[in-house]
C-alpha cells in the first residue's frame, strides 16, 4: 500500500509518535509519501532519522490512503488538500480533543494492522461549497465542517436574510449564522446550541449565533437544498469563515451554499462508533451521580 502523510508542524512535543508510525509502515513494506513541509520539520527541526520514498507539495500527490498526524484542525486541512481525489483519510490524534482524528497514539500499530487485514470501514462525509462573486472566497470554497457568516469589528448584530431551495426561510438578527455538515455538527454549531447529527444522514443544520430572539432555533434540512444568504451590517462588511479560514466580505455579496460534488472519505476502526466518541471525548451523557 502507498500512504501519504500530512502532519502538524506546530507541536514538536507531540510529533514523537511519527517515528513509530514510520517504523510500523516500513515493517509492512508500505510506500511512504510525505508532505514536504512536514518532512522537513521532522528531519530538520526534530532531528528524526526517517526516510520517505516521495515528497509532495500542495495537492500534488496520490496514494491508497492519507494519514493525518495532528488534531482536528490538521484533519480539516488534510481533507481540504485531498479534495475530490477520493482517497480515504485516517486521522491519528496528536492534538487535544481528536474528534475527527480519533486514533490515539497507542492505537497506531493496531489500526495499521486492521487496515492491512481490511478490518475497517469508510464513512462518506458531506462537503459544503460556497459560491459567490468574491474571488478571494472562491480560491478555496470547500468546507468539511461548516461555513459561517459572522459580524466583524463592531458589537452590533448583522441581519441575515436566508432562503432555502428558493423559498424564504427567515431573517436572522444575530452575531452570525452557521451552515454545518453532520461532521461539523459537533464543532462550532454544537457550541452555540446546535444538534448533534450522525454521519451519512444526508442533512445539514442552520444554526444562529446569539440570535436576538427567543423563538429562533436551529433547523435541520436536506443536504441537497441550496441555502442563499444576503447580509446587512452597520459597518457594511462581515466575515465569512470556511472551516475556520476567514475573509472579510462586503455588504451586498450574495452567498450560495450547497453540497459539493464530492465527499470526504473518513477511515474508522470497525470497533469505533460515533456514540463511543461522544461519550469518551465529549463526556456525552456523563452523570456523576452514578459514580461510587
Catalytic residues: 72
Q: Give Dmax (Cα) for the chain.
A: 61
CB 244 within 8 A of CB 180: no
Cβ burial, residue 249 (10 Å; 0-12/13-18/19+): buried
Distance separating alpha carbons of residues 249 and 176, to the nearest angstrom: 13
* Beta-sheet strands, E only, within 94-195: 120-131, 142-143, 146-150, 158-164, 167-174, 176-180
Cβ burial, residue 31 (10 Å; 0-12/13-18/19+): middle
Distance separating alpha carbons of residues 224 and 178, to the nearest angstrom: 17
Amino acid at each position: 500500500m502507498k500512504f501519504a502523510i500530512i502532519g502538524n508542524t506546530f507541536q514538536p512535543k507531540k510529533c514523537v509518535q511519527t517515528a513509530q508510525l514510520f517504523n510500523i509502515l516500513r515493517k509492512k513494506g508500505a510506500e511512504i509519501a510525505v508532505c514536504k513541509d512536514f518532512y522537513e520539520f521532522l528531519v530538520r527541526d526534530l532531528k528524526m532519522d526517517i526516510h520517505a520514498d516521495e515528497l509532495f507539495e500542495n495537492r500534488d500527490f496520490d496514494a491508497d490512503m492519507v494519514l493525518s498526524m495532528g488534531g482536528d484542525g490538521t484533519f480539516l486541512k488534510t481533507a481540504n488538500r485531498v479534495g475530490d481525489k477520493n482517497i480515504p483519510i485516517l486521522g491519528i490524534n496528536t492534538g487535544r480533543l481528536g474528534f475527527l482524528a480519533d486514533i490515539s497514539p497507542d492505537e497506531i500499530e493496531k489500526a495499521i494492522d486492521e487496515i492491512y487485514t481490511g478490518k475497517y470501514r469508510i464513512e462518506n462525509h458531506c462537503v459544503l461549497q460556497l459560491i459567490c462573486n468574491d474571488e478571494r472566497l472562491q480560491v478555496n470554497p470547500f468546507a468539511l465542517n461548516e461555513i459561517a457568516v459572522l459580524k466583524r469589528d463592531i458589537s452590533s448584530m448583522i441581519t441575515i436574510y436566508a432562503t432555502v431551495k428558493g423559498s424564504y426561510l427567515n431573517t436572522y438578527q444575530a452575531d452570525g449564522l452557521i451552515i454545518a455538515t453532520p461532521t461539523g455538527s459537533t464543532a462550532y454549531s454544537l457550541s452555540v446550541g446546535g444538534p448533534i447529527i450522525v454521519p451519512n444522514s444526508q442533512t445539514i443544520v442552520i444554526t444562529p449565533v446569539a440570535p436576538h430572539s427567543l423563538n429562533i432555533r436551529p433547523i435541520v434540512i436536506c443536504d441537497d437544498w441550496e441555502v442563499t444568504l444576503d447580509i446587512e451590517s452597520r459597518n457594511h462588511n462581515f466575515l465569512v469563515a470556511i472551516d475556520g479560514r476567514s475573509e472579510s466580505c462586503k455588504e451586498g455579496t450574495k452567498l450560495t451554499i450547497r453540497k459539493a460534488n464530492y465527499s470526504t472519505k473518513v477511515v474508522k476502526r470497525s470497533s469505533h462508533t460515533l456514540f463511543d466518541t461522544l461519550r469518551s471525548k465529549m463526556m456525552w451523557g456523563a452523570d456523576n451521580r452514578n459514580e461510587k
